[in-house]
Structure 1
Amino acid sequence: MPQRHVEPAPVDSTAVFKNDIFKGKVLFCTGGGSGICKAMTEAVMRHGAHAAIVGRKLDRLQASAEELAAATGNQCLPVQADVRNPKLLQEAVAKTVEKFGRIDFVICGAAGNFLAPISKLSENGFRTVIEIDTLGTYNTIKATLPHLRASKGSYIHVSATLHYRGTPYQVHVSAAKAAVDATSAVLAVEEGPHGVRSNVIAPGPIAGTEGMDRLSAKGPAAQDYASFVPLGRDGDVRDIANVTVFLFSDAARFITGQIFPVDGGCEHLRTLPLPYPESVVDPEAVTKMIKPRL
């Protein structure tokens, strides 16, 4: 029987793009202390930019900032702030500008998620994800927009593919990310005449991330996601990082208001994290497959 193609691991962006394309630029990234957003930040820094990473846990931010600076040779400023608090975000932006003098790129990446059916999801749980993902994105835009107008800069919003169809146990994040996508589109239209671009990256399942650990089913009945990816492997944080470098680069200067799913094509063979319809008929039957909310 012929063997299926398995896409090789991604190359680092430095193998494709010049190392100095972001020299003199400054990145402001929410959620940059870990996971996908940390990898996105590292990639941009490897091409010459300095960065500020924003999050709620200062110890994690400080450790990540040291790692990023050591790996790239550029400066990384850790700034503690909660994206749900506009005042704290404004202060984070002020600290970034005080340190680096400008902001050119913004990654709106702070997010929250967990698995829960509507019947078991509390109003507070739903509200919390909306506040972090949707309001957090809005607050980040409001705090940084004057600086991106000045630099003719660019936004990338980290979204998801969950809301393209109905995904059980994901109503909260589906609603939040649909709003993020819509916000980016309006931002692109309103701010294009000011020279500001806005695009969305929608990661699919990315191996080794906290999000994948929370959302993938556990136990013997759990599915192997890679087997359902047309390109034959799990996603890697470098896949997201490489698209980030492209979208912030001058090669993408005529691209705005777009959504870029990065999932190896698996959205077209939509698989669910939990058995269907068993998981919605009897939620108690799949509790052992769900990691508790972090």
Structure 2
Amino acid sequence: MNLEDIFATTLFDGQTVFITGGGSGINLGVAQCFARLGANIAICGRTQSKLNDAAAMLETLGAEVVAQAADVRDMDALAEAMATTESQLGPINVLVAGAAGNFTAPTEKLSSNGFRTVIDIDLVGAFNAARAAFEQLRQTRGCLIFISAGQAQAPFEFQAHAGAAKAGVDNLMKTLALEWGPYGIRANSVLPGWIADTEGLKRLAPPGSEHRIADEVPIRRMGDTTDVGALACFLASPLAGYVTGNVVAADGGMMLRGSGIWTQVIGAMLAETDASG
């Protein structure tokens, strides 16, 4: 997709976009889309070297970039990263809360610590980011974009932790749309489908399953990070100025089929692992 043929390349000129988990995967793809449309970008994550590589790439797109290590579970670290962002790039106009963790596990084998870890990164991290950004977003009358998942909409086997976390994220988003709307702050969630060439896909889907997954998507292809980034840019733009409190999917119609393909592909993988173990 050539974003520049669809949106003005000056759409986000002078604006600051802060993205948690922005050093890789879908979140880095979202950052690239905003950078291509004129935004300056702040990214945080847990690994500074990964953030530095991402920052160098974003700078080639013309963006000024702040890349500062911060774990979304640490409110003080997030607040420090956002203060640095404000001092170097200006106040935040768009917050993309995308940091997430996931793995596959039958619930009877899922530890309390494993469950809590995903809740802390996905849900508590989303709250921490929104809360830390509030004053800047109020100043700019900006917007929040949360990265959701299909697990928030339907039960997925082996995903009790991620489903609970992402359902919480979407409810948090809707609550903030209600509470922070009077400040001029909009909040929405983007729900990606199967996105090719991302760490999430590599962690969750067995090698060689991409074609089988793509065949089950109604439009018969997997998505790419630009599919998600373009939707995020639309939701952050004046075109969506009256859109708030919504979960919007960029999934090729995947969720119309529910979680069946997930169960088939991942269930077979886990069965093979158990058999070989």
Amino acid paired to 2:225:
V
Structure-2 separation of matches of 1:57 and 1:141: 21
Equivalent of residue 64 in structure 1, options 38, 54, 69: 54
SS at match of 1:22: coil
Question: Structure 1 residues 224, 152: CA separation in 2 closer, same or farther (over 3 Å shift)?
Answer: same
* 1:195-206 mapped onto 2 (5 Å cutoff): 195-206=184-195
Structure-2 separation of matches of 1:284 and 1:100: 46
1:163 counterpart residue number:
152
* 1:1-294 mapped onto 2 (5 Å cutoff): 11-70=1-60, 72-218=61-207, 224-270=212-258, 271-275=260-264, 279=267, 285-287=271-273
Runs of 4+ in 1 over 6 A off after TM superposition: none
SS at match of 1:275: helix
Structure-2 separation of matches of 1:84 and 1:75: 26
Q: Answer whether contact 2:10 2:38 (CA < 8 A) is retained.
A: yes
Structure-2 separation of matches of 1:54 and 1:284: 33
Cα offsets for 1:35-91 (capped at 9, x unmatched) = 111010111111111111000000000011011111x11211111100001110110
Amino acid paired to 1:255:
V
Between Structure 1 and Structure 2, the one with more helix by share is 2
Amino acid paired to 2:15:
K
SS at match of 2:109: coil
Structure-2 separation of matches of 1:289 and 1:88: 44
Structure-1 separation of matches of 2:170 and 2:275: 30
Question: Structure 1 residues 219, 274: CA separation in 2 closer, same or farther (over 3 Å shift)?
Answer: farther
Question: Structure 1 residues 17, 126: CA separation in 2 closer, same or farther (over 3 Å shift)?
Answer: same
Shift of 1:217: 2.9
Structure-2 separation of matches of 1:215 and 1:51: 28
Cα offsets for 1:190-215 (capped at 9, x unmatched) = 11111000000010110111101111
Cα-Cα RMSD: 2.0
Amino acid paired to 1:129:
V
Amino acid paired to 1:265:
G
Shift of 1:12: 2.4
Structure-2 separation of matches of 1:268 and 1:150: 39
Structure-1 separation of matches of 2:198 and 2:66: 23
Structure number, greater radius of gyration? 1
Q: Answer whether contact 1:219 1:289 (CA < 8 A) is retained.
A: no
Identity over aligned residues, as a percent? Answer: 39
SS at match of 1:231: coil
Amino acid paired to 1:24:
G
Q: Answer whether contact 1:199 1:257 (CA < 8 A) is retained.
A: yes
Shift of 1:173: 0.4
Q: Answer whether contact 2:16 2:92 (CA < 8 A) is retained.
A: yes
SS at match of 1:224: helix
Amino acid paired to 2:246:
Q
Amino acid paired to 1:121:
L
Q: Answer whether contact 1:217 1:273 (CA < 8 A) is retained.
A: no
Structure-2 separation of matches of 1:177 and 1:185: 13
Structure-1 separation of matches of 2:36 and 2:274: 41
Cα offsets for 1:141-180 (capped at 9, x unmatched) = 1100010000000110001012322210000000000000
TM-score, normalised via structure 2 length: 0.94
Structure-2 separation of matches of 1:92 and 1:134: 19
Structure-1 separation of matches of 2:26 and 2:105: 23
Structure-1 separation of matches of 2:239 and 2:197: 30
TM-score, normalised via structure 1 length: 0.89
SS at match of 1:78: strand
Shift of 1:273: 2.9
